[in-house]
Amino acid sequence: MENEKVIRPSIATQLFLGIVWLVLFVLSLYGYFVGLMTVAYPLISGAVLLGFVLWATTVKICVTTEGVTYHSGFGRHSSLSWPDIAEVTTRARLSGSKGQYETILRSGNPSKRDIKINIKLFGKRDLSAFATMTLGEARSAALDETTRAMAQGKMPAVFGTRKPAS
């Protein structure tokens, strides 16, 4: 498609996760060859490394003049056309001890499912471009202030927020 923008996880995210799994794989191979581990360790860590490589090639956001498709990995994907998007919400919140960063495209069509995008995986420039395209294309949707700020390069953050009282 000629007017398609494909957004993939940032190179930093892919490198960090790839290096972590590669180091674990190499350590398990070393452990196997010096007799400290059974063959199960390199097989399991190798399978996880292969799974990561496959996952990293499938996660993406595709934006076209018709709408948005989010591929969340291993073949799962959700799509909404621009007219079907009723609301766009971006949020950063603490969940336990980790931050959750997500953009939710809410469908105004009862037969279509909402799209929840884990934006933590993507780079700042790509997210800013995604938010800008959403502002321009989802004209009838209600967009929150966080999404509007993201279009200007201001990313949501959980730093300085408090955990909700239990």
* Residue 142 Cα distances to 32, 45, 92, 153, angstroms: 56, 44, 18, 19
The pTM for the full model equals: 0.78
* pLDDT tens-digit series, residues 61-82: 999 999 999 998 777 899 999 9
DSSP letters of 14-64? HHHHHHHHHHHHHHHHHHHHTTSS-THHHHHHHHHHHHHHHHHHH-EEEE-
**How many residues in total does the chain contain?**
166
Rounded Cα distance, 24 and 32, in Å = 12
Give me the chain's average pLDDT, please: 87
* pLDDT tens-digit series, residues 22-59: 888 888 898 888 988 888 988 898 888 888 888 888 89
